[in-house]
Structure 1
Amino acid sequence: MRRRTEKSPIIAQNVSRAQRPVIVVLGTVTVMFLWAICFPLIATGLEFSSPFYFAGMRAFIAGVSLLVPCWLLGRPAPVGIDVWIMLFVVGLTVTSMGFFGMFLASEFIAPGLATVLANTQPLIAALLAYVVLSERLYSRSVIGIVLGFVGIIVVGLGANNNDDGTMAVGIIYILIGALGVAMGNVALKRLAGKVDVPTAMGWQLLIGSVPLLVLAGFMEGGQAVTWSVSFILSLVTVSLLGTSVAFVLWFWLLQYNELNRLNVFSFLTPAFGLLMGVAFFGESIGLLESIGIGLIIIGILLANVRWGR
């Protein structure tokens, strides 16, 4: 049987049991940083492209960049109708739904704040993991989830005090994307150990790119992209580093760790995102937004950190 492939856990074969926790921490922190750079790159790219074309091209390029090397190296293709169904679920949630929310929100929200709001997905994922995967949900996790969503409301109130209300639209888009990523992470956990990691990620990205490119064709027409050096650099970087590398590394980590344990590190992504937003985009954050951001980060920590046995 090739269905449970031995090719995927490449890293696991080359590190000792003592080294694995260090590898997991370094790998997870790397993923969080790569995801944090996505919103700044998207904000830059949207100056030259409409959102659906940009999102669809990101997913398509990332998918092809994984599938071509997998084919050349002879890595095993996904096998079984149940596996393909889950790949379609992941593609339509993590990629189609996640990118839909992420790229549309970037037209209304500054990159740093967008990164914070997008990373409420671990709070949603904690609930879904409890219901679908039977992972434990402690009382402090419930408190963390409540705090996180109160934080979203506070950020929204602060945003409405500072603009004409368009940021509220962006917050809705962000939450749609976060819901998609959370649902997809649960589906990814069900695929763990059944597929070759880079091949599976390549297929789900390719599958997820189709609805985005179809929407681009119908809604944005044929004049949606102005090709420039800045746009090409943004597109290539967000496609390869922010998508291909990050997704493969994340799925590999999911195979050997509980979803909630990995999500402990998710507070790093909004922290990285805020630092980049302030440093490179001149973002200023008001009092209410600061309180809301603090509640969200505390909520993420409470919902996912295991305090003792």
Structure 2
Amino acid sequence: MSTPALSLRRAPDATAVIVMVALCAAWGFQQVAIKEANASFPPMLQAGVRSAIATLLVWLWTRSRGDALFKRDSTLGAGLLAGILFGGEFVCIFFGLTLTTASRMAVFLYTAPCFTALGLHWFVAGEKMRRVQWLGIVVAFCGIALAFADGLLHADTNGAPALRGIAGDALAVLGGLFWAATTVVVRASSLAHASASKTLFYQLAVSAVLLLALALGLGQTHVDVASVTPLALASLAYQAIVVAFISYLTWFWLLTRYMASRLSVFSFLTPIFGVTFGVVLLGDHFTLRFMIAAAMVLTGIALVNKPARSR
């Protein structure tokens, strides 16, 4: 899988639009799948196994295509860094979902495009932010502040203290920051010239080692086989095959061909899908204050990724 030169990256065409909508739906459902599997598997073990399975799938994929994953191309340092950031994102997601709802996770996690726009502005030539994007960031972060204020005033659906939910929300925002940092590293380093499969392999392989080591260190390696349900197994398979393998490989392939800031405009669809799935499948509920906050976050994301007018 060859990678085009940076100068050839272009605005998304119809194919990219369709693919991005499908990816957003898959990512929006991910929080529901993790939440379901958390009932049977310890969070860190689940995250590590997910990355390990996807790593094997990416390796098999590259072998079938004759791509060389291990040739010297000066990407090792950037790849290790991207893998560490990628692993940090999923530590936040999997732990966070034990503290907050899937719907709230979807809203807070997908603040990532705002962090991405800031990172690209500072580190990648040709992706400087405009006034409307700065406005979007202000609106989005005002929405985050309002959502956190709402969390402080209300207990979660299980009746746990509000502080517990706030911790989960904070982990979701931190996960979004890790995700954005990963994207910036991919775009601003030698990984920008690497194949999508190699970029993803770095992240999955490094995160698998880190997450499984963390699971071992935290004593999260025991699984009660009797409590493992078919739905939990299906949720784990969905995360590993559909999300971590197929969707991420597709995402990094898109990053090699289209402008990252233009692709991110579709990210506001993901929390919409995530909230919808959370309400319909998990029975999540919201206050009016949180709904207003979520609308502000989505508006900010849309403004941050608003395409520039052609001169």
TM-score, structure 1 normalization? 0.90
Deviation at 1:221, TM superposition (A): 4.3
Name the CA distance, whole Å, in 2 between partners of 1:54 and 1:221: 9
- Hey, what's the Cα distance between the residues in 1 that align with 2:176 and 2:300? 15
Q: Give the superposition deviation at 1:113.
A: 1.6
Q: Give the alignment of 1:144-155 within 5 angstroms.
A: 144-155=136-147
Q: Write the letter of the residue equivalent to 2:167.
A: V
Task: Write out aligned runs for 1:150-161 (5 A).
Answer: 150-161=142-153
Distance 1:131 1:78 in 2: 31
Tell me: CA distance 1:151–1:225, structure 2 relative to 1, closer, same or farther (3 Å). farther
Runs of 4+ aligned residues of structure 1 deviating over 4 Å after TM superposition are none
CA distance in 2, matches of 1:72, 1:131: 38
Deviating more after overlay: 54-63 vs 186-195: 186-195
CA deviation string 1:74-99 (max 9, x = no partner): 212243363111111111112x1110
What is aligned with 1:218?
217
Deviations 1:135-186 (A, max 9, x none): 1100111111111111111111111211122111001111221111101001
Match of 2:175 in 1: 177
Aligned residue in 1 for 2:289: 288
2:197 equivalent to 1:198: yes
Does the CA-based 8 Å contact 1:108-1:169 persist in structure 2? yes
Distance in 1 of aligned mates of 2:208 and 2:191: 22
Cα deviation, residue 71, structure 1: 2.0
Deviation string, structure 1 residues 208-244 (Cα, Å, up to 9, x no partner)? 1111111100102442454332221111111111111
Shift of 1:70: 1.5
Cα pair distance change 1:288/1:198, threshold 3 Å: same
Conserved? CA contact 1:109–1:167, under 8 Å: yes
Give secondary structure in 1 for the equivalent of 2:193.
Answer: coil
Distance 1:137 1:30 in 2: 27
Matches within 5 A, 1:1-309: 6=2, 21-80=13-72, 82-94=74-86, 96-134=87-125, 135-163=127-155, 164=161, 165-189=163-187, 190-191=189-190, 194-224=193-223, 226=225, 227-309=228-310
Percent identical residues: 23
Q: Mark the CA change 1:225 to 1:105 in structure 2 (over 3 Å): closer, same or farther.
A: farther
Q: Which amino acid aligns with 1:269?
A: T
Query: Contact between 1:267 and 1:297, CA under 8 Å: does it hold in 2?
Result: yes
SS of match in other structure, 2:285: coil
In structure 1, the residue matched to 2:7 is none
Q: Contact between 1:53 and 1:224, CA under 8 Å: does it hold in 2?
A: no
Root mean square deviation, CA, Å: 1.9
| Gap change, CA 1:74 and 1:225, over 3 Å in 2 | farther
Amino acid at match of 2:218: M
* Amino acid corresponding to residue 142 of structure 1 in structure 2: W
TM-score, scaled to structure 2: 0.89
- Which residues of structure 1 form unaligned runs of 5+? 10-16
The one-letter amino acid paired with 1:148 is A
Distance 1:59 1:222, change over 3 A: closer
CA distance in 1, matches of 2:262, 2:59: 29
Asked if the contact 1:91/1:205 (under 8 Å) is kept, the reply is yes
Deviates more, 1:147-156 or 1:73-82: 73-82
- 1-structure distance, mates of 2:275, 2:290: 12
8 Å CA contact 2:79–2:191 kept in 1: the answer is no
Q: Deviations over 1:12-55 (max 9, x none)?
A: xxxxx99x711111111122111111100000000011111011
Residues 45 and 221, structure 2, Cα contact 8 Å, conserved in 1:
no
**CA distance, structure 1, for counterparts of residue 15 and residue 190 of structure 2:** 22
Residue 198 (structure 1) shift: 2.0
Partner Cα separation in structure 2 for residue 207 and residue 238 of structure 1? 17
SS at match of 1:82: coil
